[in-house]
Structure 1
Amino acid sequence: MSHSANQFSLLSQRRFAPFFWTQFLGAGNDNLFKFAFTVLVTYHLQLAWLPPSLAGLAIGALFILPFVLFSATAGQLADKYDKARVMQLVKSLEVGIMALAAWGFMQSHVPALLACVFLMGLHSTLFGPVKYAYLPQHLDEHELTGGNGMVEMGTFVAILLGNLAGGLLIALPQVGAQAVAMSAFGLAVLGRLTAQAIPESPSTDPGLKINWNPVTETWANLKLAHRQVAVFRSLLGISWMWFFGAVFLANFPAFAKEVLHGDEHVASVLLMTFSIGIGVGSLLCERLSRRHVEIGLVPLGAIGMSVFAIDLYFASRALPPANALSVSAFLAEARHWRVLADLALLALFAGIYSVPMYALIQLRAKPSHRARIIAANNILNALFMIASSLIAGALLSAGCSIPELFLVLGIANAIVAGYIFFIVPEYLLRFFAFVLTHWVYRFKVRGDEHIPTRGAALLVCNHVSYVDAVLLMAASPRPIRFIMDHRIFATPVLGWFFRLVKAIPVAPKGEDPAAYAAAFAAARDVLLDGELLLIFPEGGLTRDGQMKPFKGGVMKILADLPDEHRASLPVIPCALHNLWGSFFSHAGGKAMSQPLRRGVFNHVGLSVGEPLTAESVSPEALQARVTQELEQGIA
């Protein structure tokens, strides 16, 4: 599988482009249809049983109901059958649904259109698991973040275009309904044609026996996802993002009409702003993450979501009344630009928040169960979105204004995100590493493709500063367990960090034999569990900037492994450079005693060498290879 130069180059490759355009057209059609229908009942039809203030919430809830009922079955189908074939059949179903919807629009038959909302929800339910399970089958780890960013960007650009088209077409005098009908049916046909070019994606579990009982299979999928704690908590985090976003998307027409006093085109501007923000945030993830799956971006995204959702309340409350402002009149008011900026920025941070979580799930879920894990995600998403519709509807019915609803949502997001990061500290740890490598240092990594994305590996590195472990963690696509000197482990403040990453403190054998034995036993278990382990063979930080002789800890770790594990274990030499003289090193005396020593944004780096076999390893040979990597990195 080849590496792409960047995420946009994927659009020129058959393994990605037909899939991308298929999902793009499907998302666009979903939203053209739903938004046109929402505008129809909000602005053009007067239905006592479906008032404008609740129309968006009702349509949204009906759309996501199939996710609850059928996601478990969809996940099984995607794991059992060729994913390309499943997508082609799903797009054929869309053509039939849009034929019925076309009739419903031309007849203004609201019950038929509501039935199509449910059926399009079924279409998306069937497409969701296969969509996200397809990507890791055709992209490697270095492409997953960029590929997911492209999919998220494409989805929300499609949402933007679909909503704009839906709003503009339904507003056409006398022919609006017919224009929507023809456009929706035409997009469905075009999506079926692009799906035909999707390359074969063989089944990951062809022997799977389908359980058609949605209740028992839904429960089984949730239990399956729960076995991997980091994956399951990521599912909850994504579901919360959809709870958050669903409230905004469902309330844009009413927000535009009742709060901003704009016409239906102003509602389209809000959706355009929100969608562009999501798209930009999604694309930024690849650049910010250095093409790795970087979950350190998730706390950054959560912070931005809360800040700008709360500010949106202050920006939109007490706006002066007006009569159905046009887009030009709306944009002529300076205070409205603050509303648009808040929407754009909270959406941008929502994109930064969600993309790494999707990539993490795809990377860490077992390939044979990946679609069912995604199905579990869709089930949770649906439950959270239904809950958001019910809670938002209850708050609005109780007299809460839409700006107040956004304020409550911003505060709730801060509380929920804080809870998620508390129970899954890996997010905050990676955020700390992200801040260190982007805003304290300018961190450049060479050879990171030698760090395996799956399976055990032993990394060895020179030891220059107290943040060496943090930098190595930032360079790795997976968590790393560290074996380190017990004195460094006990360092104030940083010691808290080392405990959170489950570092393994080791004391000299003569000083504490029990701690020494326990450390190497823990190191052995890490490798037997298929994780990454890193050791600093010098045994402590350099005091003069020169690499100290490597000790025998590496050899003991290897000797403790069973023969079959030792034979297949890669030993990877790493070299940190340009950290000597930094605040965290012992240059000039005691470390961390001279704030901002050498200033900020210093260029530091990590060079990762080609893996060695365990049989070829010795302390001297490893030191020579680390020295070689150090010299190449400095050069």
Structure 2
Amino acid sequence: MCLQDLNPDEAIPMTSTPKNKEPIPQSQFGLLRIRRFAPFFWTQFFGAFNDNVFKNALIILIAYQGSRMLEIDTNILINLSAGLFILPFFLFSATAGQFSDKYEKAMMIRRIKLMEIVIMGFAAAAFYFENMIALMLLLFFMGAQSAFFGPVKYSIIPQHLAPEELVGGNAMVGMGTFVSILLGTITGGVLVQLENGTIWIGLTVCVVAIAGWGVSRLIPRAEALSPSITIRINPLTQTWKTIGYARRTHSVFLSILGISWFWFLGSAYLTQIPNFTRFVLRSDESVVTLLLTMFSIGIGAGSLLCEKLSGQKVELGLVPLGSLGLSLFGIDLFLAYDPPEVSQLMDITRFISTPGSPRVLCDLVLIGISGGLYIVPLNAFVQLRTEPGYRARVIAANNILNAFFMVLSTGIGILFLGILKLSIPHFFLIVALGNILVAAYIYSVVPEFTMRFLIWILTHTLYRVRHEGLSRVPDEGAALLVCNHVSYVDGLLIAGTLRRPVRFVVFEPIYRLPVLHFVFRTGKAIPITSENIDPQTFHQAFETIDQALADGELVCIFPEGKLTTDGNIQQFRPGVETILNRRPVPVIPMALRGLWGSFFSHKGGPAMTRRPRRLRSKVEIVCAPPMPPEQATAEALREAVAALRGNHP
């Protein structure tokens, strides 16, 4: 199976070479100890913290004092403020992407942080005078600064990290962003309630902006990848042209649409939480902070779970899992709370003591975890599968579409809540049900997501897959994988373990099995059968294998030609020699251990006719060093695979 883009020609070669001599850390937390990641991490951490101190303080002022200051409905004011923050992404993202590809990125980040210091200086004055119009205008300028930071932020990561660090790096950025959102949200919520709180808010945002600029000076250089491009400012034509860069790789563009839908959902929840707290939960500002805290904890936890659940590779199978959680827990949030009759707004202590409050808090945490599982693999996939020369412009296109979906979310919020006067819980229900429809559409158009999800479920429920020597599989270039054939799910287990996409040669009757046929077809498996039974299929298989190897892909074959019926390795057929005579490529012997006797093997009778013995069975995948093609006879390969398998059928 070829678990890559919908068009194999779109795949970008991967390399595991770090961008400098610093060693690759053993865990994602080890990235915080290396210079090619740590200063950047803290720079974006301080930036996100500052944004949320400002935004949460402003939103709470609007929710609880906005109508007094401007005599406008608070639902409209809150959604208007969200729109003002997003508008600059439409206006400036295309230009920002060009700057990020043209100029050295560390320098770009430092100049953007200087912009933040100036904006926060004006914000301190606006908070001091409690000038709501000035604060909302500055929210626009904050959005502009973020629009310029976004393309640099996500395009610098793959320049400083190796491919096997990408998921961990994105997970740490996701976790750090939402921890900083959490801390900034708490800080803004606490400070705005203090005596002279607006003064403290102003001082805080100025100090943090200066700290962010200071740490940004330690970020290593990230050379310009397209220094010859000409900067064009026209926002309309450049926005359309920038989106065109994202459309060059179909799977990347679809992933960007998936990311944008996530921000639609996130905006729908986060924007309404203050009024949800006040009018539905009948609680005060402290509970707003608590709810935002729980949501942020969930996002951070979900982001960190990604590396563990994905095995340090970009695992698209987590995306459907995350989208399922977003809908289920969003629906439950609609059902979770029946507000008590109260004469005044409740504080945290009173709210927690009311029936249904733990359920609300759990739903928000689980929505956050689901969001983290959904968004981290998609971000890493976009970075990995985009050509470096225009990666920042693709990320700028991502920001533009994110902004469009967030504005769309704001507009729908105004429509349903401000005009149609729908309740906020009913709005949450509509959003959750809408997510089901969008997910069903995306996964029907891009079946790769569903296929990877099925593989991930298989490898994390029925089996505990361990591996040894997988680093011997090259990160780029053609190679032929040769493995023993024990069960109907051999290929799925191998595909779920390797970082690179693989095309599997599958016995045609197995290729046609229900459910497995969907997975094999989506993964571009190569069906084969006996020449005596179907000569056309037989010869077409060899032509397809040869072309795949010529294109630099991995191909995996099971030279026994059928599943073992006694647990032993059968004779290897000479087809493997035919392949290598036509296309000499390195051959990597592999062995599966522990599958004999499983539900999908023929032990004790035909496969899949007995009840499974147990869940989480231990399975091992072992690789030997590459064998030169001139030495890779059928018998030599059988001996190599048998030696790898040993006494572990």
Is 1:58 aligned with 2:80?
Answer: yes
Which among 560, 584, 587 is matched to residue 600 of structure 2?
584
Q: Which amino acid is 1:587 matched to?
A: K
- Residue matched to 2:532: 510
- Residue matched to 1:474: 496
Trace 1:313-462 onto structure 2 (pairs within 5 A).
Answer: 313-397=334-418, 398-462=420-484
- Residue matched to 1:604: 619
- Residue matched to 1:499: 521
CA distance in 2, matches of 1:455, 1:8: 31
Structure 1 residue runs of 4 or more that deviate by more than 4 Å after TM superposition: none
Residue 468 of structure 1 and its aligned partner are, at CA, apart by 0.6
Is 1:301 aligned with 2:322?
Answer: yes
- Residue matched to 1:312: 333
CA distance in 1, matches of 2:491, 2:126: 61
- Residue matched to 2:12: none
Which among 193, 216, 223 is matched to residue 202 of structure 1?
223
Residue 3 of structure 1 and its aligned partner are, at CA, apart by 2.2
CA distance in 1, matches of 2:640, 2:455: 26
- The change in CA–CA distance for 1:444 and 1:37 in structure 2 (over 3 A counts) is same
- Residue matched to 2:563: 541
Q: Which amino acid is 1:98 matched to?
A: M
**Partner SS state of residue 316, structure 1:** coil
Residue 333 of structure 1 and its aligned partner are, at CA, apart by 1.5
* TM-score, normalised with respect to structure 1: 0.95
- Residue matched to 1:30: 51
Indicate the structure whose relative CO is greater, using CA pairs within 8 Å and at least 6 residues apart.
Answer: 2
Q: Which amino acid is 1:357 matched to?
A: L
Deviations 1:497-537 (A, max 9, x none): 22222211112223322212211222223233333322112
Contact persistence 1:87–1:130 (CA under 8 A):
yes
CA distance in 1, matches of 2:60, 2:545: 61
Deviations 1:151-182 (A, max 9, x none): 10100011111111111111112x11111111
Contact persistence 2:337–2:355 (CA under 8 A):
no
Which among 535, 539, 542 is matched to residue 520 of structure 1?
542
**Which range moves more in the overlay, 468-477 or 107-116?**
107-116
Is 1:77 aligned with 2:76?
Answer: no
Contact persistence 2:321–2:453 (CA under 8 A):
yes
- Residue matched to 1:620: 635
Is 1:260 aligned with 2:281?
Answer: yes
Residue 272 of structure 1 and its aligned partner are, at CA, apart by 0.4
Structure 2: stretches of 5+ with no match in the other structure: 1-17
CA distance in 2, matches of 1:52, 1:33: 18
CA distance in 2, matches of 1:520, 1:499: 17
Is 1:21 aligned with 2:37?
Answer: no
CA distance in 2, matches of 1:125, 1:614: 52
CA distance in 1, matches of 2:217, 2:604: 66
Contact persistence 2:94–2:397 (CA under 8 A):
yes
Q: Which amino acid is 2:601 matched to?
A: S
CA distance in 2, matches of 1:3, 1:466: 36
- Residue matched to 2:573: 551
Q: Which amino acid is 1:545 matched to?
A: G
Contact persistence 1:21–1:194 (CA under 8 A):
yes
Which among 230, 246, 261 is matched to residue 225 of structure 1?
246
Is 1:140 aligned with 2:155?
Answer: no
Contact persistence 2:123–2:135 (CA under 8 A):
yes
- The change in CA–CA distance for 1:614 and 1:375 in structure 2 (over 3 A counts) is farther
Contact persistence 2:164–2:312 (CA under 8 A):
yes
Q: Which amino acid is 2:332 matched to?
A: D
Residue 233 of structure 1 and its aligned partner are, at CA, apart by 1.2
**Which range moves more in the overlay, 213-222 or 98-107?**
213-222
Which among 572, 588, 603 is matched to residue 572 of structure 1?
588
- The change in CA–CA distance for 1:630 and 1:281 in structure 2 (over 3 A counts) is same
**Which range moves more in the overlay, 312-321 or 246-255?**
312-321
Which among 143, 146, 160 is matched to residue 124 of structure 1?
146
Deviations 1:434-453 (A, max 9, x none): 11111111111222333344
- The change in CA–CA distance for 1:560 and 1:57 in structure 2 (over 3 A counts) is farther
CA distance in 1, matches of 2:328, 2:581: 53
Residue 137 of structure 1 and its aligned partner are, at CA, apart by 1.6
Q: Which amino acid is 2:162 matched to?
A: D
CA distance in 2, matches of 1:211, 1:574: 52
Structure 1: stretches of 5+ with no match in the other structure: none
- Residue matched to 2:510: 488
Q: Which amino acid is 2:237 matched to?
A: T
CA distance in 2, matches of 1:443, 1:129: 37
- The change in CA–CA distance for 1:206 and 1:323 in structure 2 (over 3 A counts) is same
CA distance in 2, matches of 1:59, 1:610: 59
Is 1:631 aligned with 2:649?
Answer: no
Residue 319 of structure 1 and its aligned partner are, at CA, apart by 4.6
- The change in CA–CA distance for 1:382 and 1:613 in structure 2 (over 3 A counts) is farther
Q: Which amino acid is 1:624 matched to?
A: E
Contact persistence 1:259–1:319 (CA under 8 A):
no
Residues paired across the two proteins, number: 626
Deviations 1:181-223 (A, max 9, x none): 1101111100000100011111222223323222222222222
Residue 608 of structure 1 and its aligned partner are, at CA, apart by 2.5
Residue 467 of structure 1 and its aligned partner are, at CA, apart by 0.3
Residue 371 of structure 1 and its aligned partner are, at CA, apart by 1.4
Contact persistence 2:281–2:339 (CA under 8 A):
no
**Partner SS state of residue 336, structure 2:** helix
Deviations 1:555-604 (A, max 9, x none): 3333434xxxx5xx4433221111011110111121111121x3221101
Contact persistence 1:42–1:51 (CA under 8 A):
no
CA distance in 2, matches of 1:106, 1:316: 38
Residue 496 of structure 1 and its aligned partner are, at CA, apart by 3.0
Identical columns (%): 45
CA distance in 1, matches of 2:633, 2:159: 38
CA distance in 2, matches of 1:322, 1:410: 32
Residue 122 of structure 1 and its aligned partner are, at CA, apart by 1.2
Residue 316 of structure 1 and its aligned partner are, at CA, apart by 2.8
**Partner SS state of residue 594, structure 1:** coil
- The change in CA–CA distance for 1:373 and 1:560 in structure 2 (over 3 A counts) is farther
**Partner SS state of residue 575, structure 1:** strand
Residue 144 of structure 1 and its aligned partner are, at CA, apart by 1.4
Which among 235, 241, 246 is matched to residue 267 of structure 2?
246
CA distance in 2, matches of 1:453, 1:419: 33
Trace 1:35-50 onto structure 2 (pairs within 5 A).
Answer: 35-45=56-66, 46-48=68-70, 50=72
Contact persistence 2:48–2:181 (CA under 8 A):
yes
- The change in CA–CA distance for 1:75 and 1:612 in structure 2 (over 3 A counts) is farther
Contact persistence 2:480–2:555 (CA under 8 A):
yes
Contact persistence 1:28–1:159 (CA under 8 A):
yes
- Residue matched to 1:9: 30
Q: Which amino acid is 1:378 matched to?
A: N
Q: Which amino acid is 2:263 matched to?
A: W
- The change in CA–CA distance for 1:455 and 1:257 in structure 2 (over 3 A counts) is farther
CA distance in 1, matches of 2:243, 2:581: 40
